[in-house]
């Protein structure tokens, strides 16, 4: 009898001890995890609002992991007067994975971006998949001076350098599509000069291949790109000079002005870093002026882009023609945050070819109106655009070649 009693007490004690351990394991997971991490070599895991998922271990390494996708559905018309839809667009426009951080020393940083959608892989215009968009190493000499080596965006027009996830419209402007510098492989140098009155001068210079991302390892000429930016009223909130729209509701006026010049020697593609292969290399120069202004929910952005080449037209023995797109483009956008979640924006963009290629290329004008609902800033948002494009300055609906376009897009990411 007594043995049975002791046996029952022991069993009850064992069961009680089990439940006590289980209770503390689930009721205080952060305490137990933090104590464990301090005593072993595992990295800390953090999920933040601005930098996605972070893995870190003291000053040994840091990796921020982010993804984003753009799912869209839209239409285009062929003849403006009939308003008859000739094309539907329903696809994943962008699907990207981004890694950034440092290894060994916070001065040595890296930035990697991979793409997976058909358009991002260049499979719409090429038969070779191009998953690498960015792959660059940085060394920070100090907080105002750093150098990069690898593949990244050139310091060209503002809208191109702005991430596609921070745009007000589903796509960048027509002028950007023709005259942008895009990405390239080279040596990048960035210098920031702050002044006592809070104004800032930024200097950016790059020596690159001139042939765009993932180009051939053999190159007969280089590209030299320089950019100067001036922020007379100081820094924008959350780097808003490279994000469209005044989502931050700047309490004081903010202005950024930029000037870029690029000399691409013996370029092999029609747009320098973009476009089809030329039949013969050509020298080309690009000149860009842009600016952005923000205050109390209002935002105004403008860009002027110009490309020139002495002899832009190339041909082969069969008489086929490929040419450098020389001429100039204009893009202007105005937007107003209706409240903290909703924004209305309008855009006018124009592309005018030089007389050297006027028999091959027409003038194009484009006007769009866009609405954006921000669920979680630019990370998660819903966009709707409606636009009209016309040729040769003839805006009447009945003119052949004029067209309407509409787009609905959902941006989702961390």
DSSP assignment of 71-113 equals: EEEEEEESBTTTT-EEEEEEEEEEEEEEEEEEESSTTEEEEEE
Least confident of 47-56, 249-258, 314-323, 371-380: 47-56
Distance CA 172, CA 178 (A): 11
Which of 402, 341, 403 lies closest to 373, judged by CA? 341
Contacts 24+ apart (CB under 8 A), 305-308: 305/157, 305/175, 305/176, 305/178, 305/179, 305/180, 305/329, 305/330, 305/331, 306/179, 307/179, 307/272, 308/284, 308/354
Q: Are 186 and 206 in contact (CB under 8 A)?
A: yes
Is residue 33 helix, strand or coil? helix
Q: Does 67-95+159-413 carry CATH code 2.40.160.10?
A: yes
383 contacts: CB under 8 Å, gap ≥ 6: 168, 169, 170, 370, 371, 372, 373, 407, 408, 409, 410, 411
Distance CA 152, CA 202 (A): 18
State the average pLDDT over residues 148-156. Answer: 97
| Strand extents, DSSP E, 222-276 | 223-231, 254-269
Over residues 245-286, the pLDDT tens digits come to 999 999 999 999 999 999 999 999 999 999 999 999 999 999
State the average pLDDT over residues 199-224. Answer: 91
Given pLDDT bands bounded at 50, 70 and 90, which one contains residue 101? very high
pLDDT computed for residue 243 by the predictor: 96
pLDDT at 234 over 80: yes
State the average pLDDT over residues 158-182. Answer: 96
Sign, Cα dihedral of 271, 273, 274, 278: positive
Given pLDDT bands bounded at 50, 70 and 90, which one contains residue 19? very low
Is residue 238 helix, strand or coil? helix
Q: Are 88 and 410 in contact (CB under 8 A)?
A: no
User: Global pTM?
Assistant: 0.85
Over residues 75-90, the pLDDT tens digits come to 998 754 556 888 899 9
Over residues 32-62, the pLDDT tens digits come to 333 333 334 555 667 655 678 888 887 789 9
Q: Mean pLDDT across the chain, nearest whole number?
A: 88
Task: Give the domain ranges of the chain.
Answer: 1-42, 67-95+159-413
């Amino acid at each position: 009898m007594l043995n049975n009693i002791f046996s029952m007490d022991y069993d009850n004690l064992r069961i009680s001890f089990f439940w006590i351990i289980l209770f503390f394991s689930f009721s205080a997971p952060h305490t137990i995890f933090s104590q464990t991490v301090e005593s072993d070599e595992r990295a800390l895991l953090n999920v933040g609002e601005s930098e996605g998922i972070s893995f870190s271990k003291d000053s040994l390494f840091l990796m921020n992991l982010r993804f984003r996708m753009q799912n869209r559905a839209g239409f285009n018309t062929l003849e403006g007067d009939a308003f008859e839809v000739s094309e539907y667009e329903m696809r994943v426009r962008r699907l990207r994975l981004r890694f950034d951080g440092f290894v060994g020393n916070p001065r040595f940083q890296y930035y990697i971006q991979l793409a997976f959608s058909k358009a991002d892989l260049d499979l719409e215009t090429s038969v070779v998949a191009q998953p690498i968009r960015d792959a660059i190493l940085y060394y920070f000499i100090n907080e105002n001076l750093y150098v990069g080596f690898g593949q990244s965006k050139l310091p060209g027009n503002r809208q191109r350098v702005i991430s596609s996830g921070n745009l007000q419209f589903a796509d960048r402007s027509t002028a950007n599509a023709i005259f942008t510098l895009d990405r390239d492989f080279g040596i990048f140098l960035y210098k920031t000069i702050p002044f006592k009155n809070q104004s800032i001068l930024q200097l950016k210079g790059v020596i690159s291949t001139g042939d765009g991302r993932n180009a051939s390892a053999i190159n007969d000429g280089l590209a030299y790109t320089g950019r100067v930016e001036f922020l007379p009223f100081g820094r924008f909130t959350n780097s808003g000079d490279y994000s469209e729209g005044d989502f931050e509701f700047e309490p004081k006026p903010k202005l950024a002005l930029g000037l870029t010049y690029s000399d691409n020697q013996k370029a092999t593609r029609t747009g320098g870093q973009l476009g089809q292969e030329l039949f013969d290399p050509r020298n080309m120069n690009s000149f860009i002026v842009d600016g952005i202004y923000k205050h109390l929910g209002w935002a105004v952005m403008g860009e002027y882009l110009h490309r020139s080449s002495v002899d832009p037209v190339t041909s082969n023995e069969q008489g086929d023609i490929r040419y450098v797109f020389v001429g100039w483009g204009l893009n202007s956008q105005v937007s107003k945050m209706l409240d903290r979640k909703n924004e209305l924006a309008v855009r006018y963009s124009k592309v005018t070819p030089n007389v050297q290629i006027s028999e091959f290329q027409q003038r194009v004008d484009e006007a769009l109106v866009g609405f954006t609902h921000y669920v979680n800033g630019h990370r998660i948002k819903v966009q709707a655009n409606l636009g009209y494009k016309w040729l040769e300055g003839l805006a009447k609906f009945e003119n052949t070649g004029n067209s309407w376009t509409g787009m609905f897009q959902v941006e989702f990411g961390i």
